[in-house]
Structure 1
Amino acid sequence: MSLVKENHKVNVEQQAIQAKMAAKILSALTTEEKNEALTSLADKLESKYEVILQANEVDLQNGREQNFEEAFMDRLSLTKERIVDFAQGLRDVVKLDDPTGDIMTNWTLENGLKVEEVRVPLGVIGMIYEARPNVTVDATGLALKSGNAIILKGGSSAITTNKVIVDVIHEGLAETKIPKEAVQFIASTDREATKQLFTMKKHIDVLIPRGGASLINAVVNNATVPVLETGVGNCHIYIDREADVDKALSILVNAKTDRPAVCNAAETVIIHQDWFTNNHPALLSTFNDHGIAIHGDERVLAAIPGASLAQEKDWANEYLSLDIAVKIVDHLDEAIDHIDIYGTKHSEAIITENNDAAKTFMRFVDAAALYHNASTRFTDGGALGFGAEIGISTQKLHARGPMGLPALTTRKYLMSGNGQIR
């Protein structure tokens, strides 16, 4: 397997045609055959971890030379443990129910015509993503289990790693019923290759972008292929007047510091004035203990030394770091209004012992995932029992929230009659 980046011109249309042909074969395979293939892939990835790490080091060194941000480098970096984890993710997907072929509902018309609504694969998925090599494996596993072929276009920063991972996947598929053409990788840093993906509506059924706002907006604004939009995560935690102090601080620390560089990390905390007045020394101590930098409104600045004044951009920012925006409000409605303006419809949480306040928050906040007395970090396919996710949708059509296997299917209506005419 070569560790050299491939920048040559690629024939994206030919790859898309191959993927479409493979999707037909894949759609006819049994659940057992697909599961055997995923198990083979997991074993192969674990056995080849050393060559994957060698490839990853090439990308990491390039990142160091280009002074990539720490959060970006964290997403790019692999270890043996991370490779074992995403191999285990494939085995977790094996354990999940296969949605394809499920009869969602059925009925019989008055004329005797029988109708079944059945889940079927989408067909060919185009996946456009940035630095995370684990997405290469996660997306492949979910696509294949749900009967879809996939075309992978990762960012240039991880191209060496992703190319070797896909080579390993192809080695694993050679021993299974799934044709290796079901997993296509665009091994080019040429932006024209990405633009070609945008317009392959004849061969590609859906595009899924996964990354920062600029990538997602580029796909949404330029693609003629239908897009399943994943979103950035400007996630909020609202600490209500009746919030338990220990719960509030524990959840805040987890949501902000567990993995700051991921989309379900908290970026803004909104705090009721009464709770803040009574507990700001404990809050300040918590921030200091965990190295959290505060960007606050004027009331925060007056009470917390060292905080910087939040600008308009801070309320909308997905920091992906140990920075956090802090706003003080006088009532729940003000918190909800702030989230309406600046939220990205990803994940929002309320910490309170007042069930009426929690119900109001859950009813009126518009987001894919809402939490009462729990961390936003649970907006994740693995954490919610979906297996590895292909992304977190913040749109409202077709799929919303963590997208597991059912989100990668559509439906067919199958009618069976005995000569009925209309």
Structure 2
Amino acid sequence: MFLESTIINLAQDARAASRVIAKAPSAKKNTILMELAGSIENNRAYLKEENRKDLELAAGRGLSAAMLDRLTISDATIQSMAGGLREIAALENPVGAISKTIIRPNGLEVSRMRIPLGVIGIIYESRPNVTIDAAALCLKAGNAVILRGGSEALNSNRALAGLISDTLAKAGLPEKAVQMVPVRDRQAVNFLLNQAEFIDLIIPRGGEGLIRFVAENSKIPVLKHYKGVCHVYVDEGADFDMAYNICFNAKVQRPGVCNAMETMLVHKNTAENFLPDMAKRFFDAGVKIKGCEKTCGIIKGAQKAGKEDWAAEYLDLILAVKVVEDMDQAIAHMAEYGSNHTEAIVTSDYNRARRFVREVDSSVVLVNASTRFNDGGQLGLGAEMGISTSKLHAFGPMGLEELTTTKFVVFGDGQIRE
């Protein structure tokens, strides 16, 4: 079958290229990333034209506003991609780093060396910038990568992948280190997920349906996050001005992303004074509020929330609000309805802040800061491959170090095992 053989060839070529990339000097990889940043900026008109084709097709297919937002390549997107490349180039290369050296009683020197994973498959929807972030992080960490973007972004992704291939070729490194699955046919994903002989890890990025499909059908280990049901808990005694700004930013700044707040929890002793002004800010921004019974009694215009609202990832200007008895109930609510993605507390009490950090099981836990900071770039990773809400082998934003593993290195002077 032609499609299956195409995917097998991609995987085989990636395995061969990974052996070369794994040995590439850090300075050479950094030069490639810097030159790619310039190429993206110099080809902005070409990239926006190819993206326009995708946007027209997507609009005709009735994609949501959130999906169209993720699909769009704007001047800001181009600057962000170029800036991310330069930030990744400036990061320390983890490959070859030695850690945890110990001397055994028999004199053996045992260390761990950080090494590339090998070949990584990325399956994602919309967001052409993922093409650049994924390629850059994989290359810097010494991996080859196979990219399977959404069919709605095929023209944009092909254009970006072409710039990457040209930059690699000019540097004398294998173009096959970064490859794009060249077809829209969804069957290509099934074939890709069967290439356990050549691919070491699959990372899906997109909606819950895509991620569950990949996890259920892959013969290759999968790093995943199903959805981002993120909470902000406004504690008793919290600074109201701080809470207003944090909650508004977490919900409104960009509601269609996985680190946007979906549920706001408010201490019962804070609710009466806090919620009316907070709700006005939300309503003025077009946010629809779905609240518990106590919330609806305080906020005029709030709709009654159903049980399904507490687990909802709206990705829209819709917010669930619940008044809780105390922090115990807030943490219990997060444990029951959250997705281990991002949780935040706004509090003036140091001890409750420390307890929240200890007890909340989430990939990123914030104190007095917006959930929108759960992002590789914002947390100093330069860029991210995605946000893992599983714990093997990474938890949270996946940067360079999360795209490597370690091997044991042992030095001796003639020891033999008795």
Q: TM-score, normalised by structure 1?
A: 0.96
Aligned length: 416
Partner Cα distance (2:142, 2:3) in 1: 30
Structure 1 residue 281 displacement after superposition:
2.2
Contact 2:3–2:188 (Cα < 8 Å) also in 1:
no
Partner of 2:383: 388
Out of 315, 322, 325, the position equivalent to 1:327 is 322
Q: Tell me which moved more, 253-262 or 276-285.
A: 276-285
Q: Secondary structure of 1:348's match?
A: strand
Structure 1 residue 240 displacement after superposition:
0.9
Deviations 1:289-312 (A, max 9, x none): 221110111112222222111112
Partner of 1:349: 344
Structure 1 residue 101 displacement after superposition:
0.2
Q: Tell me which moved more, 410-419 or 121-130.
A: 410-419
The reply on whether 1:112 has 2:120 as its aligned counterpart is no
Structure 1 residue 108 displacement after superposition:
2.4
Out of 365, 373, 398, the position equivalent to 1:378 is 373
Out of 221, 224, 229, the position equivalent to 1:229 is 224
Residue type of the partner of 2:197? K
The reply on whether 1:292 has 2:287 as its aligned counterpart is yes
Deviations 1:290-335 (A, max 9, x none): 2111011111222222211111221111111111100111111111
Q: Secondary structure of 1:112's match?
A: coil
Q: Secondary structure of 2:17's match?
A: helix
Partner of 1:136: 131
Partner of 1:21: 16
Pairs within 5 Å for 1:242-261: 242-261=237-256
Structure 1 residue 109 displacement after superposition:
2.0
Partner Cα distance (1:72, 1:181) in 2: 29
Partner Cα distance (1:266, 1:352) in 2: 17
Q: Secondary structure of 1:174's match?
A: helix
Q: Secondary structure of 2:295's match?
A: helix
Structure 1 residue 275 displacement after superposition:
0.8
- Structure 2, unaligned runs of 5 or more: none
Contact 2:384–2:398 (Cα < 8 Å) also in 1:
yes
Partner of 2:401: 406
The reply on whether 1:96 has 2:91 as its aligned counterpart is yes
Moved over 4 A (4+): 7-10
Residue type of the partner of 2:18? A
Partner Cα distance (1:33, 1:296) in 2: 55
Partner of 1:179: 174
Partner Cα distance (2:225, 2:42) in 1: 32
C-alpha RMSD of matched pairs (Å) = 1.4
Contact 1:231–1:392 (Cα < 8 Å) also in 2:
no
Deviations 1:340-394 (A, max 9, x none): 0110001100111112222222121110111111111111111111101111111
Contact 1:393–1:400 (Cα < 8 Å) also in 2:
yes
Partner Cα distance (1:194, 1:315) in 2: 32
Partner Cα distance (2:108, 2:291) in 1: 64
Partner of 1:4: none
Partner Cα distance (1:306, 1:159) in 2: 43
The reply on whether 1:64 has 2:59 as its aligned counterpart is yes
Contact 1:9–1:190 (Cα < 8 Å) also in 2:
no
Partner of 1:264: 259
Contact 2:268–2:323 (Cα < 8 Å) also in 1:
yes
Partner Cα distance (1:96, 1:54) in 2: 32
Contact 2:4–2:191 (Cα < 8 Å) also in 1:
no
The reply on whether 1:190 has 2:166 as its aligned counterpart is no
The reply on whether 1:280 has 2:275 as its aligned counterpart is yes
Structure 1 residue 190 displacement after superposition:
1.3
Q: Secondary structure of 1:51's match?
A: helix
The reply on whether 1:241 has 2:240 as its aligned counterpart is no
- Structure 1, unaligned runs of 5 or more: 1-6
Partner Cα distance (1:81, 1:370) in 2: 28
Partner of 2:195: 200
Q: Secondary structure of 1:412's match?
A: strand
Q: Tell me which moved more, 276-285 or 45-54.
A: 276-285
Cα distance change on mapping 1:223 and 1:147 into 2, 3 Å: same
Partner of 2:122: 127
Deviations 1:182-230 (A, max 9, x none): 0010011112210111121110010001111111111112111011123
Partner of 1:3: none
Partner Cα distance (2:189, 2:281) in 1: 44
Q: TM-score, normalised by structure 2?
A: 0.97
Partner of 1:149: 144
The reply on whether 1:159 has 2:154 as its aligned counterpart is yes
Q: Secondary structure of 1:152's match?
A: strand
Deviations 1:228-268 (A, max 9, x none): 12342110000111111101110001111111111111010
Partner of 1:366: 361
Partner Cα distance (1:248, 1:67) in 2: 37
Partner Cα distance (1:8, 1:220) in 2: 22
The reply on whether 1:74 has 2:39 as its aligned counterpart is no
Q: Secondary structure of 1:370's match?
A: strand
